Amino acid sequence: MKHAIQVKKLRKEFNKKAALEDVDFEVYQGEIFGLLGPSGSGKTTTIKILTGELKKTSGNVSVLDMKPDLFTSSDFKSQIGILSDNSTLYERLTVYDNLKLFCKLYNAPLQQIDEVLIQVNLKNDSKKVVSKLSKGMKQRVLLAKALIHKPKLIFLDEPTSALDPGNMAHIHQGLRALNKAGTTIFLTTHNMEEATELCDRVAFLHKGQIQELDKPDDLRYKYSNNTFHIETFSGEKLEIENVPENAEQIKELIIEGSVKRMYTDNPTLGQIFLKVTGRELV
Ligand SMILES: Nc1ncnc2c1ncn2[C@@H]1O[C@H](COP(=O)(O)OP(=O)(O)O)[C@@H](O)[C@H]1O
Ligand SMILES: [Mg+2]
């Protein structure tokens, strides 16, 4: 599969102190990739290096087959979209007029405005002045801005942190549709439900390195304790290891008709993060 992003031995120091020590990962074209880590772990720093806003200290980085010396070129900028905490809007203009300006900036057709407004659930708010919008609505306008020129690859730095569950679900739906249509998505989050729900693969960033990288389901399987939890009608709670020797015992419980509920207990990404790093994902 072709790579959208390649990062090898990436190091970034601020005042001689390493924020990223030795970061390695690759993002395939067409996937939704999540970089997970607690506050201060270096997620934003990574995005800023990949989008040309910060220079790496050492290591190799390439994005859409371009090296960092091209990250300031208009060719690069036309192919990527960014939503970060320093994305800004014109507060005194309407939602629509903001997007119109960004359309002009990127030479994108104005018809795309309506399309993007639907994606971010703002179709009925396009005439509102940005300064009057809630934080969550502004965040959705910023997302619209990041998408307005139909970039191949979008970087979303904690895109839904200001959103309520309803709007978060709507944004997720929009991102999935965008991804289906071929856009590669790189996002950072400390929201494990978001990562599980949305990402094809996730990487755990901690202590300046990637500590784990895999599909959410595969990680949940890898860190499961391989045990059946069985609740019986008489109120018993059994934990039986998933090994051949226990098959008879489980079979008997089923034949007796005493199994009320049986499940395997795959840990959540948050629990796995804690296990791998010793830190909560907050
Ligand atoms: N411009 C900067 N100058 C000095 N230190 C910085 C700068 N930007 C980030 N850092 C430090 O780098 C580390 C990673 O920060 P950041 O990438 O913002 O983490 P995250 O986005 O995961 O919360 C933190 O310790 C932060 O204080
Ligand atoms: Mg950050």
Closest CA to 55 of 39, 36, 72: 72
- Dihedral of the alpha carbons of 32, 119, 147, 136, in degrees to the nearest 10: -90
pLDDT digits (tens, 9 = 90+) for 119-159: 888 999 999 999 999 888 898 999 999 999 999 999 999 98
pLDDT digits (tens, 9 = 90+) for 11-28: 999 999 999 999 999 999
Give the residue whose CA is nearest to atom 1 of ligand 1.
14
Give the residue whose CA is nearest to atom 8 of ligand 1.
45
- CA 13 to ligand 1 center in whole angstroms: 10
Q: Give me the pLDDT at residue 8, please.
A: 98
Q: What is the mean pLDDT of residues 186-210?
A: 93
- CA 42 to ligand 1 center in whole angstroms: 6
Question: pTM, whole model, 2 decimals?
Answer: 0.89
Q: What is the mean pLDDT of residues 198-227?
A: 94
Please name which ligand lies nearest the alpha carbon of 38: 1
Which residue's entry shows tokens 């990527």? 80
Whether the predicted pLDDT of 266 surpasses 80: yes
Within 6 A (CB) of ligand 1 lie 14, 19, 37, 39-45
241 within 8 A of 263, measured Cβ to Cβ:
no
Whether the predicted pLDDT of 247 surpasses 90: yes
Percentage, residues of the chain above pLDDT 70: 99
- The gap from C-alpha 206 to its chain's centroid, in whole angstroms, comes to 16
Please name which ligand lies nearest the alpha carbon of 12: 1
Q: Give me the pLDDT at residue 1, please.
A: 63
